[in-house]
Amino acid sequence: MKKLFVIVMVFVLSACNLWPERPVDMGVEFDTTTNQRIAFDTASGVDALTSRSVSVWFVADSTSAGVRYLSIFGDGGVTYSGYYLAINTAAAGDVAYGEGFTTLAGQWYTAGTVITAGQLTNITVTYAMTTATDPIIYVNGVAKSTAELTTPAGTINQNDKTMYVGASNGSGLKPLDGKIFDLKMYNRILTPAEVLDLYNSRCKIVNDNGLVFHADLNGAAGLQNFDGSTLGAANVFTDRIGGARGVPAGNPVGYADNALSCGGW
């Protein structure tokens, strides 16, 4: 019995220390009082996609109605280039996704409240990026019912330039009020099983198949103590896939939490 107990404990401890894609207990806290964001000059692998999957781990500090961006490409507007992923667009606690087309952008949102303030949440969106298809929005590994706000028209607008994590660069848009821990983009459609793996594993399962962007928020340049530090232009982050540099603006704050670790399950 003693030997069996030792074997079980070794297995449990090993499972808690599976090598993750990055240490997942670090993130960045954004505040709506300023235009806080991290601007990534994206690498070539992110442009001209024919399919897209985006997955983000975050905690929303507020779920009141209004637009609070998690990330965005392009300059905003009706025919904006790239995409956006937001919470609280139509009503409190919903999730919205938009994709740029040359004539009219497509916009979709979840039917009903799916986000709770203060709770660690994973949103994953998959989209074939055509006018004939709709994206699938998963919250914590489960596909949600969606409604179409605007129907896309024209051809996909792939003039991607900068990826903004936090606030977008569009005028009059509310920035994110919360914390982002991990952000990935794939050049393919993730299967429902893969989406569920991303959620259940808390990033411990390494899935780099088709991964073209991964915002590594595990500390920033020039800082020994990341947690609680105000982030300036010198505190650069790195996209671990393409090497793009992410420059903070508006003084977001480094944040440490064990929410995604084994202890946070």
- What are the two backbone dihedrals, phi and then psi, of residue 5, each rounded to the nearest 5 degrees? -60, -45
Q: Specify the CATH number for the domain of residue 238.
A: 2.60.120.200
**Cβ proximity of 116 and 101 under 8 Å:** no
pTM (2 d.p.): 0.86
Q: Cα-atom radius of gyration of the chain, to the nearest Å?
A: 18
SS3 262: helix
Residues 55 and 251: their CA atoms lie apart, in Å, by 24
pLDDT digits (tens, 9 = 90+) for 190-222: 999 999 999 998 888 889 999 999 987 888 999
pLDDT by 10s per residue, the chain, length 265: 555 554 544 444 444 444 444 444 789 999 887 678 898 887 656 777 889 999 999 999 988 887 777 766 555 555 666 788 888 887 888 999 988 888 888 999 998 889 999 999 999 999 999 999 999 999 999 999 999 989 999 988 876 567 888 876 665 567 788 999 999 999 999 999 999 999 998 888 889 999 999 987 888 999 989 999 999 999 999 998 888 899 999 999 999 988 776 434 3
- Expressed as residue numbers, the domain containing 132 is 2-264
Structural domain count, the chain: 1
Q: What is the DSSP letter of 189?
A: P
User: Whose CA is closest to 198, among 18, 83, 57?
Assistant: 57
